[in-house]
Amino acid sequence: MLFPRLNKWFVIIFIIAIAGAGFRGFQLYRYIFHANIQTPGSIIIPIDATYEQVIDSLKKHRIIANYKAFNWVAKQKKYAVSIKPGKYLLDKGLNTNEILNMLKSGNQIPVQVTFNNLRFLEELAGAVSRYIEPDSAELIGKFNDPAIHEKYGFNKNTFHCMFIPNTYEFYWTATADQFMERMSMEYKRFWTKERIQKANDMGLTREEVMTIASIVQEETNRRDEKPIIAGLYLNRIKRGIPLQADPTVKFALGNFRIKRVLHSHLEVDSPYNTYRNPGLPPGPINFPESGSIDAVLNAADTPYIYMCAREDFSGYHNFSKTLAGHNENARKYKAALDSLKIFE
- CATH number of the CATH domain containing 56: 3.30.1490.480
Check if the beta carbon of residue 210 is closer than 8 Å to that of residue 293.
yes
What pLDDT does 8 receive?
Answer: 56
Rounded Cα distance between 18 and 26, Å, is 12
Domain-embedded: residue 124:
yes
Residue 324 CA to its chain's centroid (Å): 44
| Tally of domains in the chain | 3
pLDDT in tens, the chain (344 residues): 444 555 555 545 555 555 444 544 545 567 687 898 999 999 999 999 999 999 999 999 999 999 999 999 999 999 999 999 999 999 999 999 999 999 999 999 999 999 999 999 999 999 999 999 999 999 999 999 999 999 999 999 999 999 999 999 999 999 999 999 999 999 999 999 999 999 999 999 999 999 999 999 999 999 999 999 999 999 999 999 999 999 999 999 999 988 888 889 999 999 999 999 999 999 999 999 999 999 999 999 999 999 998 888 888 999 999 999 998 988 998 888 888 776 55
Domain-embedded: residue 17:
no
Domain-embedded: residue 261:
yes
Rounded Cα distance between 119 and 254, Å, is 9
Residues 71 and 150 in one domain: no
Check if the beta carbon of residue 1 is closer than 8 Å to that of residue 52.
no
Domain-embedded: residue 79:
yes
Residues 199 and 272 in one domain: yes
| Residue 66 phi, psi (nearest 5) | -130, 100
What pLDDT does 4 receive?
Answer: 53
Integer-rounded Cα radius of gyration of the chain: 31
Residues 139 and 228 in one domain: no
What pLDDT does 335 receive?
Answer: 87
What pLDDT does 27 receive?
Answer: 59
Domain boundaries, position 139: 111-190
Domain termination residue (choose one: 161, 190, 219): 190
- Residue 117 Ramachandran class (φ > 0 left, ψ -120 to 50 alpha, else beta): left
What pLDDT does 36 receive?
Answer: 87
Residues 301 and 322 in one domain: yes
Q: Quick one: DSSP state of residue 314? A: S
What pLDDT does 26 receive?
Answer: 47
Domain-embedded: residue 24:
no
Check if the beta carbon of residue 34 is closer than 8 Å to that of residue 96.
yes
Check if the beta carbon of residue 86 is closer than 8 Å to that of residue 21.
no
What pLDDT does 12 receive?
Answer: 54
What pLDDT does 314 receive?
Answer: 84
| Residue 306 phi, psi (nearest 5) | -125, 150
What pLDDT does 23 receive?
Answer: 44
Residues 325 and 213 in one domain: yes
Element (H, E) at 110: strand 110-115
Residues 83 and 219 in one domain: no
**Sign of the C-alpha dihedral computed for residues 339, 341, 343 and 344 taken in this order:** negative
User: pTM for this one?
Assistant: 0.85
Residues 55 and 77 in one domain: yes
Residues 210 and 242 in one domain: yes
Domain termination residue (choose one: 143, 166, 190): 190
